[in-house]
Chain A
Amino acid sequence: QVQLVQSGTEVKKPGASVNVSCKASGYPFKSYGVTWVRQAPGQGPEWLGSISPYNGNTYYAQKFQGRLTLTTDTSTTTVFMELRSLRSDDTAIYFCARLPPRRFDYWGQGTLVTVSS
């Protein structure tokens, strides 16, 4: 069955970087994009960006350009998200999700990232 398993809770100080991983299994890894979405406490989801494991192409929301990097390791079927220069308003649950065309059909369990001094 399709599974996306994310790395664990992170606590970071302002200005630091965070790396969150998302290991995919149960489907041909290169055949589907992976997207990242975050959800601040009590808020709706916010799209951060997407990556194609097939060719490595990345697409980032303008708000995160220059601060967000998505990468893949096809040998381990894992997608990585790095967010730099963290601020307190980056505190959120970060989700990865599989991206068949134009929808997010399977989601990871979420990773809580807390940014606090």
Chain B
Amino acid sequence: QSALTQPPSASGSPGQSVTISCTGTSNDIGAYKYVSWYQQHPGKAPKLLLYEVTKRPSEVPDRFSGSKSGNTASLTVSGLQAEDEAAYYCSSYAGLNNFHYVFGTGTTVTVL
């Protein structure tokens, strides 16, 4: 199972929006609605941002939103803030019978 493809970097000024893509295949993103996104600050564990493409845990601000079309999912961070500077990873469920998962290659977001 190959990793999902993300752009290595993205950037924006405070208050702007940035969108990160996550491209998989018809066996993972294209097959299921189970795409999740994680934020990771240096030296920390990943934190769940979105699940089932668009759902947010209660503690995650609505500046974070998600979408999916075909084999590609996207994360949009609106109203960029300094604390949004981090690495972002997508993940997809990839196996109905074997409960497998795959992660993305990661995107580092820089707030200019």
CA distance A62 to B100 in the complex (A): 9
> Contact partner of B98 among A35, A43, A59, A107, CB < 8 A?
A59
A45 and B89 in contact, given A59-B98, A107-B47 (Cβ under 8 angstroms): yes
Closest to B87 in A: A44
Residues of chain A lying within 8 A (CB to CB) of residue B102: 47
Residues 39-68 of A, flagged 1 when their CB comes within 8 A of B and 0 if not, give 000011111001000000001011000000
Chain A, interface size: which category? 20 to 34
Whether, in the assembled complex, B66 has its beta carbon less than 8 Å from a beta carbon of chain A, the answer is: no
Q: Which of B33-56 contact A (CB under 8 A)?
A: 34, 36, 38, 45-48, 51-52
B103 touches A59 (CB 8 A): no
CA distance A79 to B47 in the complex (A): 20
- Interface hit among A10-18, A70-78, A97-105: A97-105
CA distance A47 to B100 in the complex (A): 8
B48 touches A104 (CB 8 A): yes
Q: How far is the CB of B94 from chain A (nearest CB, A)?
A: 9
B51 touches A103 (CB 8 A): yes
Residues of chain B lying within 8 A (CB to CB) of residue A80: none
A104 touches B36 (CB 8 A): yes
Residues of chain A lying within 8 A (CB to CB) of residue B32: 102
B52 touches A102 (CB 8 A): yes
A102 touches B36 (CB 8 A): yes
Residues of chain B lying within 8 A (CB to CB) of residue A62: 1
Closest to B99 in A: A59
> Contact partner of B48 among A44, A47, A105, CB < 8 A?
A105
Closest to A98 in B: B48
Residues of B within 8 A of A (CB): 1, 3, 32, 34, 36, 38, 45-48, 51-52, 57, 89, 91, 93, 98-106
Q: Which 7 pairs, one residue from A and one from B, show the smallest C-beta to C-beta distance?
A: A103-B51, A102-B34, A107-B45, A44-B106, A59-B99, A47-B101, A103-B36
**8 A–B pairs (Cβ distance < 8 Å), ordered by A:** A35-B101, A43-B106, A44-B103, A50-B101, A61-B1, A102-B36, A105-B48, A108-B45
Residues of A within 8 A of B (CB): 35, 37, 43-47, 50, 59, 61-62, 95, 97, 101-105, 107-110
